[in-house]
Every structure is written in structure tokens, then in C-alpha cells.
């Protein structure tokens, strides 16, 4: 376990009435972003973020790093017990992962008795595949990535989603989801929108034209899948490659790229493509909207109805992507308007204010 100084602005755990722990998944840096948003919104909260390593390096701000191979080590488990019990008044347990290593089991449900006994108030936070039901998703979504999933992998993911749903339904705890589509899997949950630093993604680069007013020879279209499988990349690449070869677009495919480099690519792109399989939108789409880039993605009809105000995303499927993208890049005024609306939407729904308010009832309990 390694302790570091967080790179951004939540109030370090200290002498505040509410001492909030978040983790240990911190997917897409959202536990850190939530900590910053909540601390900015409330002076009575200090926070500590724990992150389980998922790659060769730690990409997002955190206070505590945990090596997955040490989850079964008794010394790490004791450290986590001492870190949580008696220090935290509240805990946002994300991705249904255990907080005491593997001391009690492989999911947060196994840790709940100890947390209750210690008087720690717990909320559950879901991000995606830990609660997304593969069979149900496949039934309602023609473009679902679960259509091509191997049976053994599907069965494993289904069992995990069903177990975590049982934990959510039987625990009596407040449950939050970071993307609206997950409300279809956890109907009693509350949407806590993903949080991005909108100002950090600001771009002065005009959409579909250069600063001097001259349009680029070919519009730059960016697709940056974190995982090709969940983004539907293989379904859309033939269309994108064809448009690139025809000279309609300049396709940029970015994978396994440092965050700062990816941010520069987003800021200079004309159009950003998010996902075309899951039926919702996530952190990368919001970051692109914050940069004023028009975003194309697949939004399922049921997901759209769950939102008071759907995002200004150009809705497309793998089958309609060619027509939608071609029409957009041929209409600079429309693209610029969508880009401007996207910044406003990101600021209204995803700058952290709404998310912090969503947690108020839990924090005040």
C-alpha cells in the first residue's frame, strides 16, 4: 500500500463532522471527482480516496494505492480495517468491491456486517458491468456487446450482476449509479452524474474550421475506446475506415494513450465518437462535451426517457452512423451549435454540483 498526496482538490481527511471514504475502484477517476465535488459543496466534509491498481500505473488522483495481489494479505486487511473503522463516518463503496481486502469475501456485501457494527454509514455506487445484466441488456439492445460474449464469460458476469443486485436490494443502503442506463438494472437507485472538470477541458479550437475561418481539408473525427468491446468499436470501424478512405473524414483512433495527450486530441478534434453498444454515455463523452466537441453515440430510447433533459448527443447506431456523421460534418453551423450546447450541458449536469446535491441526504443521515 502506498500513500500519496492527491493531485487535486478534495479536503484531506481531518477534523470535520463528516469524514468520507470513497473507493476502492475509482473507475475513470470518479471517486476522486466525487470527493472533490462534495468537498467543494460542503465545508463540513473531508475525504479520503482509495484506489485499487488496475494497470501499470495510476492514472487518477488518489490518497491510497492498493495492489490487487495483496488483497489476500493479512497486513493489508488490518491496515484497511484501521483506516476505515474509527476514522470514517461515511463510506461510498464503489463498484461493489470489498474495502477490507479479501478479509470477509470478494464483494462489499461481505464487509457490510463489520461496517454496520462499527457505525459507518455506507452508500453503494455502481459504475457499469458490476450490475449491468448481460442477458437483459442483450434482450433490449440490438447492438449490445453481450451478443458476442462467450457463454462462460456471460454466465460469470450474469452471476456477478445478480449477486450485486441482491446486495443492493437487501442491504437497505442508499444506492447510486454514475450512468442513467444502470437505472434499468437498479430501478431503486439514484443517478449521480459522472463529474468532470469542465474548465480543464475548455478548448478555443473552433469546430469544423480553423481559427482564420478556413475549414480543414477533412474534419478530424476522434474515437478513443477504453475497451473496444464495450464501445462497439468493431461495429463502427468499417464505416469510419470507409469514410476516411473516401476523404470525407480524417479518422483518429486513440487507444492506451496518456490522459493529457488524449485531452489534447479531444480539444483539437471536430467530432468525437463515444460508444455504439451500451446505449448510454459516460465520462469520455462528457469530457468531449466539456471541450465543446459535438459527440455521436448510441442512446437507447429507454435510457433517454429516464433523463429530465437528454444530452445534446447526436444519436446514432452502427447502421445509421454513416448518414449521421456525414450530415454533421457537412453542416458546420449545426456542429458548432451542438458543440456550444454540449458545453452548457456538461456544466449544468456534470461539473459536480448536481452530484454533490444527490449525496446530501446520505451525508446528513
The C-alpha cell that represents 303 in the structure block: 435510457
Say which residue, 17 or 149, is predicted with more confidence: 17
Is residue 47 domain-shared with residue 173, that is, in the same domain?
Answer: yes
Residues 339 and 358 in one domain: no
CA distance 150 to 229: 12
Where are the strands (E) in the chain, listed by range?
2-3, 18-23, 45-52, 64-66, 90-94, 121-126, 175-177, 190-191, 220-223, 250-253, 271-273, 295-297, 314-315
Cα-Cα end-to-end distance for the chain: 31
280 shares its domain with 169: no
Whether 335 and 312 have beta carbons less than 8 Å apart is answered as no
**pLDDT-derived band of residue 332, with 50, 70 and 90 as boundaries?**
very high
pLDDT at position 133: 97
311 and 324 housed in the same domain: yes
- Domain at 138, CATH number: 3.40.50
Host domain of residue 116:
2-195+352-364
Q: Are residues 170 and 44 in the same domain?
A: yes
Looking at the fold, whether 342 and 357 belong to one and the same domain comes out as no
pTM: 0.93
Residues 173 and 321 in one domain: no
| Residue 247 belongs to domain with CATH number | 3.40.50.2000
Judgement on whether residues 233 and 342 belong to the same structural domain of the protein: yes
Are residues 240 and 310 both part of a single domain?
yes
Task: Examine the domain organization and report whether 185 and 203 are in the same domain.
Answer: no
> Beta-strand (E) ranges in 53-137?
64-66, 90-94, 121-126
- Reduced to 3 states (helix: H, G, I; strand: E, B; else coil), residue 59 is coil
Confidence category of residue 36, pLDDT binned at 50, 70, 90: very high
Q: Which percentage of the chain shows pLDDT scores above 70? A: 95
What value does the mean pLDDT of the chain take?
A: 93
Q: What is the dihedral of CA 99, 104, 108, 112, to 10 degrees?
A: -100
pLDDT tens digits, one per residue of 181-202:
999 999 999 999 999 999 999 9
Residues 54 and 178 in one domain: yes
Distances (CA, A) of 275 to 65, 210, 234, 290: 29, 27, 11, 17
Is residue 6's pLDDT more than 90?
no
Count up the domains in the chain and report the number: 2
Residue range 339-349, pLDDT digits in tens: 999 999 999 99
Mean pLDDT in residue range 153-173: 97
Amino acid at each position: 500500500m502506498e500513500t500519496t498526496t492527491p493531485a487535486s482538490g478534495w479536503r484531506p481527511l481531518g477534523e470535520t463532522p463528516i469524514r468520507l471514504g470513497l473507493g476502492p475502484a475509482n473507475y475513470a477517476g470518479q471517486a476522486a471527482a466525487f470527493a472533490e465535488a462534495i468537498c467543494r459543496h460542503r465545508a463540513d466534509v473531508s475525504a479520503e480516496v482509495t484506489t485499487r491498481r488496475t494497470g501499470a500505473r495510476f492514472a487518477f488522483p488518489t490518497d491510497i494505492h492498493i495492489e490487487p495481489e495483496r488483497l489476500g494479505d493479512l497486513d493489508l486487511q488490518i491496515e484497511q480495517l484501521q483506516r476505515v473503522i474509527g476514522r470514517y463516518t461515511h463510506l461510498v463503496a464503489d463498484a461493489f468491491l470489498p474495502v477490507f481486502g479479501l478479509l470477509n469475501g470478494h464483494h462489499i456485501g461481505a464487509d457490510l456486517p463489520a461496517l454496520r457494527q462499527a457505525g459507518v454509514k455506507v452508500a453503494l455506487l455502481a459504475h457499469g458491468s458490476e450490475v449491468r445484466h448481460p442477458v437483459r441488456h442483450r434482450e433490449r439492445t440490438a447492438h449490445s456487446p453481450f451478443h458476442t460474449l462467450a457463454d462462460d464469460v456471460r454466465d460469470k458476469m450474469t452471476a456477478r450482476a445478480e449477486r450485486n443486485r441482491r446486495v443492493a436490494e437487501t442491504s437497505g443502503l442508499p444506492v447510486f449509479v454514475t450512468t442513467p442506463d444502470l437505472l434499468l438494472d437498479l430501478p431503486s437507485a439514484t443517478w449521480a452524474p459522472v463529474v468532470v472538470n469542465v474548465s480543464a477541458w475548455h478548448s478555443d479550437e473552433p469546430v469544423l474550421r480553423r481559427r482564420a475561418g478556413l475549414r480543414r481539408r477533412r474534419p478530424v473525427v476522434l474515437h478513443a475506446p477504453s475497451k473496444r468491446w464495450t464501445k462497439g468499436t468493431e461495429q463502427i470501424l468499417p464505416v469510419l475506415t470507409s469514410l476516411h478512405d473516401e476523404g470525407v473524414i480524417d479518422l483518429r483512433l486513440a487507444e492506451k494513450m496518456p490522459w493529457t495527450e488524449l485531452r489534447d486530441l479531444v480539444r483539437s478534434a471536430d467530432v468525437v465518437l463515444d460508444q455504439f453498444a451500451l446505449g448510454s454515455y459516460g465520462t469520455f463523452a462528457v469530457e468531449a462535451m466539456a471541450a465543446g466537441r459535438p459527440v455521436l453515440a448510441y442512446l437507447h430510447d429507454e435510457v433517454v426517457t429516464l433523463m429530465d433533459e437528454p444530452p445534446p448527443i447526436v444519436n446514432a447506431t452502427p447502421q445509421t452512423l454513416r448518414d449521421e456523421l456525414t450530415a454533421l460534418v457537412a453542416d458546420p453551423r449545426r456542429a458548432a451549435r451542438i458543440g456550444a450546447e454540449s458545453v452548457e450541458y456538461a456544466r449544468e449536469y456534470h461539473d459536480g454540483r448536481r452530484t454533490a446535491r444527490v449525496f446530501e441526504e446520505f451525508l446528513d443521515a
